[in-house]
Structure 1
Amino acid sequence: MKPAGVVRKVDQLGRIVLPKSLRKRYLMNEGDPVEIFVQGDQIILERYRPKCVFCGTMTEVKEFKERYVCSECMVEMEFLKK
């Protein structure tokens, strides 16, 4: 992971501000969801991209009953109905 060389303080509500240059570089806009991961002693922020609940892919994912399912898994589920 390449360090960005930017230091920010956490405010009293636990917030930090991502610099505009980073938001622009990683296509992050106001209101976009962000996923938070912890890896050892590191906190990792990542633009949220829905993943299929069955196989974990992020390709051709659609929302179905408040869950995300990819097109391949949808085809497999349709096959099970027969």
Structure 2
Amino acid sequence: MKSTGIVRKVDELGRIVIPIELRRVLDIDIKDGLEIFVENDLIIFKKYEANNTCLVTGEITTENKQYADGKFTLSPVGAKILLEELKGYGI
């Protein structure tokens, strides 16, 4: 993880401001949705992209791939699960 050197305080309503420089670089605009992830003691924000959600696991990763002309998306884990299920049906 790369430090930006930017520190922001949480206000009395629990809000923080994301600096304009970061919003520009990450293409975050007004009213864009942000997903919130927690990993150990880290809070991770990611721009919400519903079209990249794995149909099987619900994961959103950069490794997800779209299939059938974009009709569905699978993560590597989701693809493995689906493949095993299909093998169980003899396909």
Indicate the TM-score class for this superposition, using the shorter chain for normalisation: 0.5 to 0.7
| CA spacing shift, 1:9–1:40, aligned 2, 3 Å | same
For 2:38, the equivalent position in structure 1 comes to 38
The whole-number CA distance in structure 1 between the counterparts of 2:39 and 2:54 is 22
Change (3 A) 1:72 1:43: closer
Tell me the equivalent position of 2:82: none
Where do residues 23-62 of structure 1 align in structure 2 (5 Å cutoff)? Answer: 23-50=23-50, 51-54=53-56, 56=59, 57=64, 59=66
Stretches of structure 2 lacking an aligned partner (at least 5 in a row): 74-91
Unpaired stretches in structure 1, ≥5 consecutive residues: 61-69, 74-82
Return the structure number with greater strand share: 1
Across the aligned residues of Structure 1 and Structure 2, the Cα RMSD in angstroms comes to 2.1
What is the TM-score when the length of structure 2 is the normalising length? 0.61
Instruction: Quote the residue 2:10 is aligned against.
Output: 10
Deviation of the 1:4 alpha carbon: 1.0
1:46 positional shift: 0.5
How many residues are treated as equivalent by the alignment? 64
Distance of 2:38 and 2:23 partners within structure 1: 20
Q: What is the percent sequence identity of the aligned residues? A: 41
